[in-house]
Amino acid sequence: MLIAFNKPYGVLCQFTDGEGRPTLADWVDVPDVYPAGRLDADSEGLLLLSDDGPLIARITQPRHKWSKTYVVQVEGEATDAQLRALAAGPLLKDGPCLPCEVTRFDGPPDWLWPRDPPVRFRKSVPESWLQVVLREGRNRQLRRMTAAVGLPTLRLIRTAIGPHALAGLQPGELRILDAEPAARAAPSARPPVRSGRTVRSTPPRRR
C-alpha cells in the first residue's frame, strides 16, 4: 500500500509522542503504515506512507535517486549569485551538498494554501519564493542550505517525491496511490480501499 498525505504545519512525522503534540495518528486512520522519510514539524506538504518496508527503503535511500521537490519562502530578495551558490550545493557543517535545481518565482504559487498559523516575518524585509529539487536528504538540509547563502527559510512545502506529487491535495487530505497491501501484511478487518481515492483525513483529536 502507498499513501500520499499532505502533512499540515505543526504535525510530527510519527504516530506517537510522549509530550502530547499532534502526530500522524491524529490524521491518518490507516493501519500498519509508516512514513517513507521525514518532514519536520515546521514544514508542510507531501509525505508518503506505506506498509511495504522494501518500498520505503527505495523511497528513502539516496542511491535510488528519488528526487524531492520543495517550494520555499525565504527572507530577503534572492540575487543571482545567491541562487547560483544554492544550486551549486553550499558547504554545510556535515559536508558539501550535491548540486540541486533552483527556480525563482515572482510570488507564491496560485495553488498554495495559507499557512495556519501565518508566517511571521518583518514587513520591512523583502521575501523571495523558490522551487528547489534535491537528490539527497539530510536533517533540515534545505533550511541549512538557504541559510548558508544568506536566505533564511520562512516557509517550506514539499510538493513532490519522485513521480508522486501533491496534485491538489489540501492540508490534512490523503490519497491512496496503491491500495494493495504488502504481501507479508496480516489481513485487516477494515473494508478494502480503492487506489486514486482522495479523502479528508481523520480530523485532529487534540488541539
Q: What is the pLDDT of residue 103?
A: 98
67-161: same fold as 1-64+163-178? Answer: yes
User: Domain boundaries in the chain?
Assistant: 1-64+163-178, 67-161
CATH number for the region 67-161 comes to: 3.30.70.1560
Contacts of 14 (CB under 8 A, 6+ apart): 23, 24, 35
CA neighbor of 43 nearest in space, from 143, 129, 176, 152: 143
Q: Is the pLDDT of residue 204 over 90?
A: no
> pLDDT by residue (tens digit) across 81-111?
999 999 999 999 999 999 999 999 999 999 9
> pLDDT by residue (tens digit) across 17-61?
999 999 999 999 999 999 999 999 999 999 999 999 999 999 998
Higher pLDDT, 118 or 204: 118
Indicate the average pLDDT of the chain. Answer: 90
Q: What is the pLDDT of residue 61?
A: 87
Which pTM value belongs to this model?
A: 0.88
Domain 1-64+163-178 has CATH 2.60.40.10: no
Length of the chain: 207
Positions annotated as catalytic residues are: 40
Higher pLDDT, 86 or 195: 86
